[in-house]
Structure 1
């Protein structure tokens, strides 16, 4: 199942990094309850493959599970074998893109320059993660959006509830959000409802208004 339409509709990818398998169960429960449809665990998280398997089992049908920080084909194969439904990376690796296409899995590689963005898209990536947004800012996104308006872009890094609207206005088709969605105190306390409460305003801010 291809997920590009879900990405362009829900416009939000939750990024989970550096937490334990137990914490991930709390995080996943809260994010799913809060309405997040796309959840990514980065491959440099110690138990990433177990977390992917857990999430697929627990939230299948309610949320889609992907792997982030996929740097090479080996990682991509491990992630897909664990059940990852989409792959995200901070870089453009044409071999990873080709593998994902062979497997029928969405791949959204990371890029910064117009050349990288276009190369990834022409290689078959359905969307491109614009990274690092915390350093580039919405002004950069706005500048490249005009000539690259046909390429779906996911703004990742530095997006908060206070500036999410600015990124959408600058032309982001979706955003990737990490720590802002997962308060450390809520994780430590095992408070999934607190995480859901945190996620809901981000989900609401990302809803595409019609009419």
Structure 2
């Protein structure tokens, strides 16, 4: 077996592997985004990702760091290159998530003491990302492949924690867990646009609580 470079395994990564959920915020801004984030936090979600292709993403990350303090970890997603990574880190992001493998992004983040959960799909990308120091790999896109793909790649690569992203809902999350997923990146199935548009914050909080409880009792 190859020897990987040292992995930072920050508090954010430890929380991910314990709590198993990242809430993905894409395209939500202003008060609606703030209220939605607060509702999810009240529901027990502890990791929030703001995608960097959201208008004003860096400002949202900075604002949430200040508003929510030490309650949760605030990170940046859709970090596709060094420039985007630097903007996210300067805004105070506590973790980075990428849709792609870019070793320079991992190197930059590590120099700041921040973990990158790197987007990969193939076994070759998985090994490269792990060797580069990514402590968790985001398997993406997964929706069209399904849980069996996780089971297959974990045969030879079972030592690498995988975060399943795409196609996961409350009805099939157990299936993905049993296939070997260590965590889940959840967009619209958790951060529900219908509830945000309706300003149904209590309902969104209850929905988040259901997700948190479901994932906590996987096994």
TM-score normalized by the length of structure 1: 0.95
Structure-1 residue corresponding to 2:202: 193
Aligned with residue 76 of structure 1, among 64, 78, 85? 85
**Structure 1, unpaired ranges of 5+:** none
Task: Note the aligned Cα RMSD (angstroms).
Answer: 1.3
* Aligned position for 1:206: 215
CA contact (8 A) 1:128 1:151 kept: yes
Q: Say whether the 8 Å CA contact 2:24–2:50 is kept in structure 1.
A: yes
1:46-57 equivalence runs, <5 A: 46-57=55-66
Task: Work out the CA distance in 1 between the residues paired with 2:141 and 2:101.
Answer: 13
The residue number in structure 1 matching 2:5 is none
Residue deviations 1:74-108 (CA, integer Å, cap 9, x gap) = 11111111110000010000100100111100100
Identify unmatched segments of 5+ residues in structure 2. 1-9
Instruction: Give me the TM-score of the superposition, normalised by structure 2.
Output: 0.92
Provide the secondary structure at the position in 1 that maps to 2:50.
strand
> 2 CA distance for matches of 1:38 and 1:197?
17
Is 1:32 equivalent to 2:79 in the alignment?
Answer: no
How many residue pairs get matched? 210
2:23 partner SS: strand
8 Å CA contact 1:161–1:202 kept in 2: the answer is yes
- Segments of 4+ moved more than 6 angstroms: none
Within 1, Cα distance between the matches of 2:60 and 2:85?
Answer: 15
Contact kept, 8 Å, 2:177 with 2:218, in 1: the verdict is: no
2:12 to 3, 6, 10: 3
Q: CA deviation at 1:191?
A: 2.6
* Aligned residue number for residue 64 of structure 1: 73
Matched, 1:129 2:138: yes
